[in-house]
Amino acid sequence: MDDLKSLEADLMGRIDAAADERALEDIRVAALGKKGTISERMKTLGKMTPDERKEAGPILNSLRDRVATAISAQKAILEHAAMEARLAAEAVDVTLPVASLPRGRIHPVSQVFAEVEAIFAEMGFSTREGPDIEDDFHNFTALNFPVGHPAREMHDTFFFDEKDDGSRMVLRTHTSPVQIRTMMNEKPPIRIIAPGRTFRCDSDQTHTPMFHQVEGLVIDRDTHMGHLKGTLEAFVKAFFEIDELTTRFRPHFFPFTEPSAEMDVGYERDGGTIKIGTGEKWMEILGCGMVHPNVIRNCGLDPDEYQGFAFGMGIDRLAMLKYGIPDLRDFFAADSRWLQHYGF
């Protein structure tokens, strides 16, 4: 077994001397891979007599385990060293004067939030916010999603673990719970917008697990669909900075509004850009409708006395349309070059 001691000493020396993870991986393959030196020795056990196998087996297994343990320990050391080197290379001296560093940029989402809030503020809307983590009542039940209702399947919801009473908190799937909290805590007339983060289990070029919404709510005694259409058309003109606007409202279904509609705007392509306002093509831009009587009733108000409208739109989608951003996933990539280009 002297040759095994020499083999172990040679391998341990090479492992300790490995300068990086790639070199360490080469050693692992050479020793423990399918055709590695230790693996080849393990194959000879089948040709031995039972007594020889009984003696050699534990020795070879022990050798293999010691080499594997040494490789794992050295890998952890190399990973730590690589991380320390990266942190040192990417360090920023926060004591340097600001003027010597690249200027910061406002993220397009923050910019659009500010634009939307300013436009609706001029229309007399105030802003309300609410928690990102909601209970079932505010996120579903109060919004006319009764337990077992198939409309709940419209949302790919992130659920928390069950509590002792069987209830489960959720990451809110829309900012509509803010509307519920406002109606339950404030007396009409109500005219608010609710901007914020929302969460759904979805991810592709136009969907992300976390995205941003703004919803609006108006509750009063004399509110009708004409007020809703006028408000939304005025907003789109102001946001896209256009004077002419072609729109259509298509019937749709939302549990919390009745009647419900989706708003389309006319558009046309000019080369690689999209022009909002006119054109023969239609683009869906938001959902809206008259607040369902059940929702008003769930909030402690009398639907025979009060009625109103609500609408919701994606902030990220508005930013993509207005500023020509092709991929939603780039919003969360933390790439300073992207922010340098699209930031404000």
Q: Both tokens of residue 177?
A: 């719970």
Give residue 102's region: left, alpha or beta (phi > 0; psi -120 to 50).
Answer: beta
Q: Both tokens of residue 144?
A: 């006319």
Cα separation, 170 vs 162, in Å, equals 10
Q: Both tokens of residue 326?
A: 């092709």
* Domains of the chain by residue range: 2-89, 108-342
The more confident residue out of 191 and 152 is: 191
Q: How do 190-199 and 247-254 pair as beta strands?
A: unpaired
Please determine, for residue 179, whether its predicted confidence score (pLDDT) is greater than 90.
Answer: yes
**262-295 confidence digits (pLDDT tens):** 999 888 887 777 788 788 889 899 999 999 999 9
Output the DSSP codes for 247-315: EEEEEEEETTEEEEEEEEEEEEEETTEEEES-SSEEEEEEEEEEEPHHHHHHTT--TTT-EEEEEEEEH
Which CATH number is 108-342 given?
Answer: 3.30.930.10
Please determine, for residue 189, whether its predicted confidence score (pLDDT) is greater than 90.
Answer: yes
**216-251 confidence digits (pLDDT tens):** 999 999 999 999 999 999 999 999 999 888 999 999
Please determine, for residue 161, whether its predicted confidence score (pLDDT) is greater than 70.
Answer: yes
Contact (Cβ atoms closer than 8 angstroms) between residue 1 and residue 59: yes
The confidence band for 102, taking pLDDT boundaries of 50, 70 and 90, is: low
Contact (Cβ atoms closer than 8 angstroms) between residue 232 and residue 311: yes
Poorest-confidence range of 44-48, 68-72, 132-136, 150-154? 150-154
The confidence band for 337, taking pLDDT boundaries of 50, 70 and 90, is: confident
- 3-state helix vs strand vs coil in the chain, percent to 5: 45, 20, 30
Residue 257 neighbours by CB under 8 Å, 6+ apart: 288, 289, 290, 291, 292, 309, 310
* Of 314, 331, 324, 338, residue with least CA distance to 200: 314
315: number of Cβ within 10 Å: 24
The confidence band for 95, taking pLDDT boundaries of 50, 70 and 90, is: confident
**129 phi/psi in degrees, rounded to 5:** -130, 165
Output the DSSP codes for 48-76: S-HHHHHHHHHHHHHHHHHHHHHHHHHHH
Please determine, for residue 33, whether its predicted confidence score (pLDDT) is greater than 60.
Answer: yes
What pLDDT, on a 0 to 100 scale, did the predictor assign at position 321? 85
Q: What is the mean pLDDT of the chain?
A: 87
**270 phi/psi in degrees, rounded to 5:** -125, 90
Place of tokens 């389309």: 264
What pLDDT, on a 0 to 100 scale, did the predictor assign at position 205? 59
The confidence band for 99, taking pLDDT boundaries of 50, 70 and 90, is: low
Please determine, for residue 153, whether its predicted confidence score (pLDDT) is greater than 70.
Answer: no
Please determine, for residue 49, whether its predicted confidence score (pLDDT) is greater than 60.
Answer: yes
Please determine, for residue 14, whether its predicted confidence score (pLDDT) is greater than 80.
Answer: yes
Could you give the 3-state DSSP secondary structure of residue 255?
A: coil
Could you give the 3-state DSSP secondary structure of residue 335?
A: coil
